[in-house]
Chains A and B, each alone.
Chain A
C-alpha cells in the first residue's frame, strides 16, 4: 500500500516528461493544437497517483494510530516502516534517522505519531567525503499539497485548452504548465533543503516564463522581470537561511533538522532566530508578503489560468508551505510558543490588512483578486505566526479552491467581455453568463467566510488560533484577522457589483463560456462549498454523529513527528468566535451593499450617480446607516487609507525597488566610467603611453649615424669606466 509513498518521485517525474515531450515533439509529432491532451493526460495520471498517495497516507496514519495501544509493537512497526521506506524503492538508501527515533508519539497528547516516508538515494553531490542525498519526503503536509496542486493544475489544464486556444504560443504554454506542475510537486516532496531551493527557483522560472507569455508587449516582460527579480531578492534570504541551518546542524536533511531543533530547543535559539529572519525574507517574496508583495499584482499580466494556478493557488503558497515544513525552526526562532507577538505573525497580519485595503482601489478585476491573494496569504502566514499550523494549512487548502475558482471566473468574464479586465467595462453579466456568475458568487462567499462555505471554517480556525495562541494569546493578530474578514467581504461584494450587476458597459455581446470552462468552474465551486468539511471541528460533527471524521486535516496532514516535539497545542473550538467571524463577514457584505445603494438618491455625490443608474434602489431606505458606514468606515478606508496604501505602494515601495534598480544601474555606470575606465584603465593606459612617449624621446637619439652611436658608445664606456675606477 505504501508503494506510491515510497516511489513518490514518479509524481513530479510524469509532468516533467510531459514537459519534454511537449517541448520536443509538440509542434512536429503531436501537432500544435493537440498538445493540451498530453498535458491533461499527464496531470490526470498524477492526480490519480496523488489520490492514491492520499489514501495510502491515511491508511498509514490509521495503522499507526491503532498500534498506539501497544507501545512496543508500535516502535517495532515504525522501525520496519522506516526500513522499508528507504530500501523498498530499490535505491541504495541508508537506514534513516526516521527509523531510529520513534518516541515522540508517546507524549503527543492523544495524537499518533506517523513517521514520514523518506526515500533517498545517496551521492547526489558530495563534499569532504560527505554524500548528500536526493530523495522524497512524504508526509501529511506533502500529501495535502499534492492534492491541491494536482487538482487545481488538472482543472487549469482543462480550462486552458479553451481559454488559450489559438494562442500564438499554445505549445509553449502547455509545456510550461507541465514544467510548473513538475517543479511544484518536486518542491513539496523535497527531502532536503537544497532540493527545496531547486524546486523553489524552478517554480519561479516557470512563473517568469508564464507571466511573460505574451512577451511582445513591454509591460508583460516588465512584470515578468519584476516578479523574478523581487523573488531573487527574497532568495538571498532563502540561501542564507539554508546556509545557517546547514552550518548549525551540518545537514540539509529536513527531517533531521526538524528533529534536531525539537531536541536541542533553546540551545540553538539564536541560530534559529537568524535563520528564521532570513527565511522570512524568502517567504515575503514568494508568498507576496509585505514589503515584497508588489510583484504579485503586476504578475497578473500573464494568462488568467496561470494566475489561477500559479499566482493564487500553488506557487505563492510555497512560502507558507516552507514555513510549515520547517515549522520547528520558526517555532524556536520566533518563540511562537511563548510570545504574544512576533515578526512572522505581524508581517502576516499586516500584509492581510494592507492587501485587503488595496483591493478597494483597483478597477482591474484580476488585480483585486491579486490583492485579495496577498491578503489571504498574509492570513496564512499570520496563522503560522500564532502557532496555528493546522489552520494555516487548512486555509491554504480551501483558499486554493475558491481563489482558483474566482480567477478562472474572472478569466471567463474576460473571455466573454472581449478580453478586458477593467470592471468599468463590465456590468450586468449575470444575465449573460449565469454559470460564471453563480460559481463566482459561491467562491466569493467562501472567500468572505460566510457560513457554511469553506472559507468560513478555515478562517474561523485562524481566528481561533490567534485568540488562543500557545501559551498566551495574540490579541493584535485577532484584531487584524477580524478587520480583514470584514474588508474581504466588502471588496469582494464590490467586485460582484461591478461585474455582474447593473447594465453592461462594454462593447459587443457578451456570452457564456463553453462547457470546457464552466465545468472546471463548477467543480471548484463545489469544492469551495465542501472543502471546509475536511477539518470540521468535533462539536459540529457531533451533531451529525460523525465525530470520527472531525479534524481530518489535523489528524492526517499534521507532521506530528515534528510538532509534538516542540509541544504545539490545539485550542478547543469556540462557538462565539465563529459567530464573531461570521458577523464580520456579513457586515462587510452589508456595508458594501449599502454603500452602492446610498449613492443613488439625490443626496448622493454626482460622481457616484452612475452607480445609482446601475441600480440599487431597494437599499434606499437604509440611508442613514449607509451614510455612517460609507463616510466613516468605507470612505476612510477607501480614500485615505487605501489610497495612501496604494500611494505608498506605488511611490514608496515600488519607488524604492525602482530607485534601487536605477541606482544600481547608475552607480554601475558611474563606477564603470570613472573607476573602471577612468582610474584603473587609465593607469594601465598611462603606463603604456608613458613607455611610448619615453620611446619617442629616446627616438631622437637614433640618428642613424654611425658616429653618433660611436660617440655614445665611447662616452658611455668612459663614464662607466670613471665610475668603476674612481667611484668604486
Chain B
C-alpha cells in the first residue's frame, strides 16, 4: 500500500468538504461538511502515525473526534437558536456583519 493513497483520499474528502461548507445553504449541512473535513484530517493523522511509527497520530485523531463532537454540539445549538429567532437556517440570509 502506498502512503499516498490514504493521503489523496483525505485530500479529496477535504476538498469535497470545503465545497460543502462554501456552497450549501442549510446550516446543518454546513456543519456536516465541516465534519467531513475534520475526518479527512483524521485519516491523514492516522496514516502519518503509521508511517512514522508513533502512537501520537492515533491519539490526536481521538482528540479530534472528541473536539468534533463538542463542535457539533455547540454548532447545532447555534443553528437551533438561529432557527428560533429567524425561522430560517439558510446561512446566506445572515449578513449582520455587512460592511
Structural contact, A706 and B18, CB atoms closer than 8 A: no
Taking CB atoms, residues of chain B closer than 8 Å to A703 are: 95, 98
Structural contact, B91 and A706, CB atoms closer than 8 A: yes
What distance in Å separates the Cβ of A648 from its nearest Cβ neighbour in chain B? Answer: 72
CA distance A703 to B95 in the complex (A): 6
Taking CB atoms, residues of chain A closer than 8 Å to B92 are: 705, 707
Structural contact, B22 and A702, CB atoms closer than 8 A: no
Taking CB atoms, residues of chain A closer than 8 Å to B21 are: 707, 710
How does the 8 Å CB contact mask read for B73-99 relative to A, with 1 for contact and 0 for none? 000000000000000000110111111
Q: Which of A701, A704, A711 contacts B22 (CB 8 A)?
A: A711
Q: Which of A705, A711, A714 contacts B91 (CB 8 A)?
A: A705
Structural contact, B91 and A704, CB atoms closer than 8 A: no
* A218 CB–B CB distance under 8 Å: no
Structural contact, B18 and A714, CB atoms closer than 8 A: yes
Taking CB atoms, residues of chain B closer than 8 Å to A714 are: 18, 22
CA distance A432 to B33 in the complex (A): 120
Structural contact, A705 and B22, CB atoms closer than 8 A: no
Interface size (A, Cβ < 8 Å)?
11
How does the 8 Å CB contact mask read for B5-21 relative to A, with 1 for contact and 0 for none? 00000000000001001
**From B23, which residue of chain A is reached at the shortest CB distance?**
A707
What distance in Å separates the Cβ of B55 from its nearest Cβ neighbour in chain A? Answer: 29
CA distance A710 to B99 in the complex (A): 16
* A509 CB–B CB distance under 8 Å: no
Structural contact, A702 and B91, CB atoms closer than 8 A: no
Taking CB atoms, residues of chain A closer than 8 Å to B18 are: 714
Taking CB atoms, residues of chain B closer than 8 Å to A711 are: 22
* A699 CB–B CB distance under 8 Å: yes
Taking CB atoms, residues of chain A closer than 8 Å to B97 are: 702, 704
Structural contact, A710 and B22, CB atoms closer than 8 A: yes
Taking CB atoms, residues of chain B closer than 8 Å to A702 are: 97-99
Structural contact, B99 and A705, CB atoms closer than 8 A: no
Taking CB atoms, residues of chain B closer than 8 Å to A710 are: 21-22
Structural contact, B99 and A699, CB atoms closer than 8 A: yes
CA distance A710 to B23 in the complex (A): 10
Structural contact, A707 and B98, CB atoms closer than 8 A: no
CA distance A703 to B91 in the complex (A): 12
**From A706, which residue of chain B is reached at the shortest CB distance?**
B91
What distance in Å separates the Cβ of A703 from its nearest Cβ neighbour in chain B? Answer: 6
User: How many A-B contacts are there with CB distance less than 8 Å?
Assistant: 31
What distance in Å separates the Cβ of B8 from its nearest Cβ neighbour in chain A? Answer: 15
CA distance A707 to B92 in the complex (A): 7
CA distance A701 to B98 in the complex (A): 9
How does the 8 Å CB contact mask read for A690-728 relative to B, with 1 for contact and 0 for none? 000000000101111111001100100000000000000
Taking CB atoms, residues of chain A closer than 8 Å to B96 are: 704
What distance in Å separates the Cβ of B1 from its nearest Cβ neighbour in chain A? Answer: 25
Within B60-81, the residues touching A (CB, 8 Å) are none
Taking CB atoms, residues of chain B closer than 8 Å to A707 are: 21-23, 30, 91-92
CA distance A711 to B23 in the complex (A): 9
Taking CB atoms, residues of chain A closer than 8 Å to B23 are: 707
What distance in Å separates the Cβ of A696 from its nearest Cβ neighbour in chain B? Answer: 10
Structural contact, A706 and B94, CB atoms closer than 8 A: yes
CA distance A701 to B99 in the complex (A): 8
What distance in Å separates the Cβ of A198 from its nearest Cβ neighbour in chain B? Answer: 65
What distance in Å separates the Cβ of A718 from its nearest Cβ neighbour in chain B? Answer: 9
CA distance A710 to B92 in the complex (A): 12
What distance in Å separates the Cβ of A29 from its nearest Cβ neighbour in chain B? Answer: 72
Taking CB atoms, residues of chain A closer than 8 Å to B94 are: 704-706
**From A710, which residue of chain B is reached at the shortest CB distance?**
B22
CA distance A699 to B99 in the complex (A): 6
CA distance A134 to B10 in the complex (A): 93
Within A675-702, the residues touching B (CB, 8 Å) are 699, 701-702
What distance in Å separates the Cβ of B15 from its nearest Cβ neighbour in chain A? Answer: 9
CA distance A707 to B96 in the complex (A): 13
CA distance A390 to B30 in the complex (A): 109
Taking CB atoms, residues of chain A closer than 8 Å to B30 are: 707
**From A701, which residue of chain B is reached at the shortest CB distance?**
B99
CA distance A705 to B98 in the complex (A): 7
Within B34-77, the residues touching A (CB, 8 Å) are none
CA distance A710 to B18 in the complex (A): 9
What distance in Å separates the Cβ of B44 from its nearest Cβ neighbour in chain A? Answer: 15
Within A368-426, the residues touching B (CB, 8 Å) are none
**From A714, which residue of chain B is reached at the shortest CB distance?**
B18
Within A417-470, the residues touching B (CB, 8 Å) are none
CA distance A355 to B21 in the complex (A): 99
**From A700, which residue of chain B is reached at the shortest CB distance?**
B99
CA distance A711 to B18 in the complex (A): 9
What distance in Å separates the Cβ of A706 from its nearest Cβ neighbour in chain B? Answer: 6
**From B27, which residue of chain A is reached at the shortest CB distance?**
A706
What distance in Å separates the Cβ of A101 from its nearest Cβ neighbour in chain B? Answer: 86
CA distance A706 to B82 in the complex (A): 14
CA distance A710 to B30 in the complex (A): 11
CA distance A701 to B30 in the complex (A): 21
**From A717, which residue of chain B is reached at the shortest CB distance?**
B18
CA distance A705 to B97 in the complex (A): 7
CA distance A712 to B84 in the complex (A): 29
CA distance A33 to B94 in the complex (A): 86
CA distance A577 to B99 in the complex (A): 99
What distance in Å separates the Cβ of A721 from its nearest Cβ neighbour in chain B? Answer: 12
How does the 8 Å CB contact mask read for A604-640 relative to B, with 1 for contact and 0 for none? 0000000000000000000000000000000000000
Write 23 A-B pairs (CB below 8 A) sorted by A numbering.
A699-B99, A701-B99, A702-B97, A702-B98, A702-B99, A703-B95, A703-B98, A704-B94, A704-B96, A704-B97, A704-B98, A705-B91, A705-B94, A705-B98, A706-B94, A707-B21, A707-B22, A707-B23, A707-B91, A710-B21, A710-B22, A714-B18, A714-B22
Closest 5 CB pairs of A and B: A702-B99, A704-B95, A704-B98, A704-B97, A699-B99
| New A-B contacts (16) at CB < 8 Å, excluding given A704-B99, A707-B92 | A699-B99, A702-B97, A703-B98, A704-B94, A704-B95, A704-B97, A705-B91, A705-B94, A705-B98, A706-B91, A706-B94, A707-B21, A707-B91, A711-B22, A714-B18, A714-B22
